[in-house]
Amino acid sequence: MSQADDFTIRRAAATDAALLAELGTGTFIETFGHLYTPEDLAAFLDQAHSTAAYARLLGEPGVAIWLAFAADSTPAGYLVAGPCKLPVPALEARAGEIRRLYLWRAVQSGGLGTRLLGIAFDWLGGQGHTPLYIGVWSKNVGAQRLYARLGFDKVGEYDFPVGRHLDREFILRRARVAG
C-alpha cells in the first residue's frame, strides 16, 4: 500500500475539468454506485460529475480543488473546498466546507486523505473561513471516524439527492480551522 508521501498533490487548473470528471465519476461509482438504480446514478453523475459540472466548479469564486497523483502520474484522488453550501441553520458568514474528498479504494487508509485535508484546512484558514463543515453519508462510518479524529462534531442532518433517491447525510462542524 502506498503512503501519503508517495503522492504528488497539485492545485487543479481550468484545463483539468475532464480529468476531474473522469476521476469523480470513477471514484463515486467505486464507492457508492452499488447503492442506486442505474437511472438515479446516471442522473446524478451527469449533474455533479460531468466535465461541464467540473468546469463550473473550477470557475466558482473562492473554490479550490487539489488533485493527487501516484508516482507513475496516475490520478489517485481529489478534494474540493470552498465557502459552505450545506443547509446549516444560521450559517456563519465566513463558514468553509470540505465539499468533496474522493480517493480510489486502492489508495485509501494510507494517509493520503488526511494529507489532502491538511492542505485544504490550511488553505481555508488562509481564506478566512471559520468554522468548517463537511457533509458525510450517514452510513459511512469510516469517514465519520476520520472526521471525528480531526475535530468534527455532528451538528445536523439533511437529505442529499442522488437522482430521485435521497441519502441521509450528516452535517459535521469543526470550530478549529488550521491543520
- CATH number, residue 85: 3.40.630.30
Evaluate whether 169 touches 135 at the Cβ level (below 8 Å). Answer: yes
Can you give the pLDDT at residue 5?
77
Prediction pTM value: 0.94
pLDDT tens by residue, 69-121? 999 999 999 999 999 999 999 999 999 999 999 999 999 989 999 999 999 99
49 within some domain: yes
pLDDT at 33: 95
Q: How many domains does the chain have?
A: 1
Q: Bridge partners of 66?
A: 11, 79
Name the maximum alpha-carbon separation found in the chain: 45
In a domain, 153, yes or no: yes
- Are the CB atoms for 64 and 135 separated by under 8 Å? no
Q: Cα separation of 129 and 177, whole Å? A: 7
Q: What is the pLDDT of residues 131-178, one digit of tens each?
A: 999 999 999 999 999 999 999 999 999 999 999 999 999 999 998 665
> Would you say residue 179 lies in a domain?
no
What residues make up the domain containing 99? 4-174
Query: Is 60 exceeded by the pLDDT of residue 54?
Result: yes
Predicted pLDDT at 175: 82
- Residue 15 falls inside a structural domain: yes
Is residue 59 assigned to a domain? yes
Q: For residue range 11-50, list pLDDT tens digits in order.
A: 999 999 999 999 999 999 999 999 999 999 999 999 999 9
Asked if residue 45 is part of any domain, the answer here is: yes
Identify whether 100 is part of a domain: yes
Residue 22 located in a structural domain: yes
